[in-house]
Structure 1
Amino acid sequence: MSNFKLGLEFAQQQDQNDELKSFRTQFHMPKDNDGNELIYMTGNSLGLQPKITKDYINQELEDWANLGVEGHTEGKNPWLHYHEFLTETMAEIVGAKPLEVVVMNSLTANLHFMMVSFYKPTSKRYKILIEADAFPSDKYAVESQLRHHGYDDKDGLILWKAREGEELTNYEDLEHILKEQGDEIALIMIGGVNYYTGQFFDLKRIADLGHSHGCIVGFDCAHGAGNVKLNLHDSGADFAVWCSYKYLNSGPGSLSGAFVHERHAHNKDLNRFTGWWSHNKQTRFRMRDEFDQLPGAEGWQLSNPPILSMAAIRASLDVFKTAEFDRLCKKSKHLTGYFEFLLNELNNDDIKIITPSNPNERGCQLSIQVKNADKTLHNKLTEAGIITDWREPDVIRCAPVPLYNSYMDVYKFVERLKTILN
């Protein structure tokens, strides 16, 4: 990454040479009151809206208006099978087989549904291990599962912590925890990319380690899906969940994805909550048959899907399909590397990047830790037309998303930051 250079001309040249630059024009860019485009660096929190999203949703509104209930079978995109339109591209993005993936529910709901099946505590093995700085919803969810099964959530929760004075967790510490307590741990549930630091964990290493101690292993990939190559199938994880409104640009609060490894695909003995949409498609509408479980991840569905939300996801996935995820990941590493280079060149003791410097251990998010933080720097960035994301106690999260962020975005960001710091 030593080929980066300072100056406006380098950023302009990189944008000119960017084979993905046209995709920026396919998204609505937020503007200030004077109509100037803001520098949007918060795709790790809410992705921007593809311009085709409105057409995709309008198509379903038209079919609803003109066909009513017949839209389930007669619509341009029949609603009865609509979730299947999303499966193949979503599976490619997360590195899974179509059998292993379904889009349904919201993120924490899916996490609970997965734990219904895969958290199987016994009197000896009942503890759950998560990273200490996991996204709060994950922590609340696993604590409530412990209480639901009659365990004390303080005793039953094991935290994989960073070492004193460090921000990033260490695999040797995880190995030590499992060596000491592995036979008491029923479930390891880690955020695939940590929301706070941006650290991308080695999913296969964690899954292999957990399985070697008899633990079930799952991942919350909310900050990984559409951002990094998760390779969920090859990781060997038992399950994973993710949301679609960050890097997958499906709109606020939109649906979640779920992955269940194919080795569990035909196991009808797994405990699970069920509903009519997890019933055999061929006999689903006979209504009086005994429950007949669908194989694969589809077997965890409960209800018929919300079409309008799925239409927005489909729009974004079609953009991904055209852009090609391999090309996006390649640009992401280069663009984020350029961002890191410019930030480091500021040589300012008031800020520090806490995200790993190894491009294979992060996605496009860089977390900037602010010395003596009181949110002032974040507020000044906002006033300067830069949309970032503040996380207590002292971090500004910034994500140059390869689909719609440019090298000029990064250059302008750092130039404005430099002015503010000085």
Structure 2
Amino acid sequence: MIRKIVVIVLLFASASFMAQRSNSSPYSYFGVGEEFNTNTVIQNSMGGIGVAFNHYKYLNFTNPAAYANLRYTTYGFGVLNNDLTVKTSTTSQNSTSTSITYVALAVPIGQKAGFSIGLQPFSSVGYSLNNAVLNTDGSTSEITLYSGNGGINKIYGSFGIKLFKELSLGVEADFSFGSVENSIINQRDNVSLATKYNEETDIRGGALKLGAQYKKELKNNLVLDLGATVKLAHDLNVTGKDYLYSLTFSSGGGESPRDTLSISNINGSYTIPIKSTFGAGIGKLDKWYAGVEYENQDAFTTNGLLANTNNAYKYGNSNRFSVGGYYLPKINSISSYWSRVTYRAGLRFENTGLLVDGTGTNTDFTEIKDFGISFGLGLPLKRLSTVNAGFEFGKRGTTANNLIQENYFNFRLSLSLSDTWFVKRRID
């Protein structure tokens, strides 16, 4: 039965991925948009740790070496609901968006290896911004509207193998694809026609990640885990067209294009540098676990993109520090269901690497930082399957330097179905 459920949900989720618009953040204006945190609900509930963490029935999107410890075929399906409050120094606005965050299947190979395949969103674009220039009497002399939509999805395949009792290695290959549309409309007072710059791009590119995990059994059933991954530098190629034309607006706000001023081809790229992640954890299997993780990446560059033409932003080095863990009172409790529930919590401190100039001088750039506190529950179902619920409160950005602060509440939900596939029956 579980195999039929997996096939049905896989087909439904794959179609939904292509159609979803899952972002309303103004910061999705920059670069490839707002990048998704490509972790499972379980990992996100523990502050995002995962490079050293492994489990016999859980997916792991951080370190492919973790699949060497997989013992059950596991299907995972995740959903995110984001409640966002956007604040400036004078105003605030609320929005809500819901999206599918991953569809993945992991299968063990014997007792020393495993692999996983899946589909995830990589980034999402969904913004609508405006900037007004006022006359000395307070009337509007010029207004510029910025808008964008689209995003990038990612298909991945991971493989992990245990070389020795304590050491596992893994490799992951992925391919990103998607389309993004950005536009700028400028309307001046006493000018009958507005102008619009529209950029339509397709984005493609592959990447490779290498991972390793070391597991050491200590006294009193304690287990020490160490892990590291390196995602190699790669390019996301950008192709498309940009259009510059004049237009008028109808009384209802609709656009009526007039004269095309220029059309040109786009052929650029995002150059994404190497990303390194290191972590350590300690605990008792199916009892408790505590871990820390650090991630670092150099600045990446962009070429031939609309958002880069006004020099309103640039990239610096990014890094993240996470700490988290779980507690499971009694996995085989008969008298109490809540003793079989897994309780998770974590913290995340992140420097996104994005620097934005809110003054318009192109000289005063502010680092955009992100902080989140999370917790979650693993609710057991029959056999080995679970429903995982995660909650995260966070803040990104600042109202200083004429910028925007985002306060968000993320509710994540996943269904994790585990079973023993490809096992030869002993009794017919």
> Normalized against structure 1, the TM-score is what?
0.22
Larger Rg: 2
Bigger RCO (CA 8 Å, 6+ sep): 1
Structure with the larger helix share: 1
Structure with the larger strand share: 2
